């Protein structure tokens, strides 16, 4: 499973839970309620602007494909980049491009300091397919992987095991 698929699985999970009437479309109210549940606060005018931008067929609601694109846009926020930079203490160079990377140990520190969760290495390994067979100090967590972990079903606000006051929330 690649990272794109992981993000789409997350979007599918959120979409299905947000589709209260089961019509396979999210209305503006369902979108607003869904965003609130996953901890994304957004002003009404900004939401209307984004819905207009991502509602490609202009029917006033989101299909799954439109919602997936919309959610990916929302999750590419500077707040996530900044927190990733804070904990990504390493970099790799591929060709002429340098990319920040985290180790599972860095991710454990993030959870301990930001979410007040003292997760053991074994728990970290279950957060992503990417982490399944890694060692503690292996450079394996890119910004995309970090983003997918933050918003994965396992770490989702919808997962009752992780509902607490320290859940990471990003404001728009």
Task: Report pLDDT digits (tens) over 10-56.
Answer: 788 889 999 999 999 999 999 999 988 877 778 889 899 999 999 99
**Superfamily name and number for 3-75:** EF-hand (1.10.238.10)
Question: How large is the average pLDDT for residues 80-85?
Answer: 88
pLDDT of residue 4: 43
Question: How large is the average pLDDT for residues 121-134?
Answer: 83
pLDDT of residue 115: 82
CA 122 to mean position of chain CA atoms: 21
pTM (2 d.p.): 0.53
pLDDT of residue 144: 78
Please report, to the nearest 10 degrees, the dihedral formed by the alpha carbons of residues 68, 167, 161, 38 taken in order: -30
Q: Are strands 97-101 and 90-94 parallel, antiparallel or unpaired?
A: antiparallel
Q: What separation in angstroms does the CA of 67 have from each of 56, 74, 100, 143, 146?
A: 11, 10, 28, 21, 21
Whole-angstrom distance, CA of residue 154 vs CA of residue 157: 9
Q: Is the pLDDT of residue 3 over 60?
A: no
Percent of residues, the chain, with pLDDT higher than 90:
34
pLDDT of residue 78: 77
- Radius of gyration over every alpha carbon of the chain, rounded to an integer in angstroms: 17
> What value, to the nearest 5°, has the Cα angle with vertex 136 and ends 123 and 139?
115
Cβ–Cβ under 8 Å, residues 60 and 28 = yes
pLDDT of residue 5: 46
Whole-angstrom distance, CA of residue 147 vs CA of residue 116: 18
Question: How large is the average pLDDT for residues 99-118?
Answer: 90
Instruction: Give 112-119's long-range contacts (Cβ < 8 A, gap of 24+).
Output: 114/83, 114/166, 114/168, 115/166, 115/167, 115/168, 116/164, 116/166, 117/162, 117/166
Q: Is the pLDDT of residue 8 over 50?
A: yes
């Amino acid at each position: 499973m690649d990272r794109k698929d992981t993000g789409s699985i997350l979007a599918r999970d959120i979409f299905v839970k947000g589709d209260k009437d089961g019509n396979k479309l999210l209305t503006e109210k369902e979108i607003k309620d869904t965003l609130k549940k996953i901890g994304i606060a957004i002003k009404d005018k900004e939401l209307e602007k984004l819905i207009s931008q991502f509602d490609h067929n202009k029917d006033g609601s989101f299909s799954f494909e439109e919602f997936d694109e919309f959610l990916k846009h929302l999750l590419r926020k500077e707040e996530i980049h900044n927190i990733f930079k804070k904990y990504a203490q390493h970099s790799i160079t591929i060709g002429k491009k340098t990319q920040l990377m985290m180790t599972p140990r860095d991710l454990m520190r993030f959870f301990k300091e930001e979410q007040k969760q003292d997760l053991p290495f074994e728990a970290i390994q279950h957060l992503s397919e990417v982490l399944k067979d890694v060692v503690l100090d292996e450079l394996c967590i890119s910004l995309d992987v970090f983003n997918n972990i933050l918003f994965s079903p396992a770490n989702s606000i919808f997962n009752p095991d992780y509902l607490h006051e320290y859940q990471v929330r990003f404001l728009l």
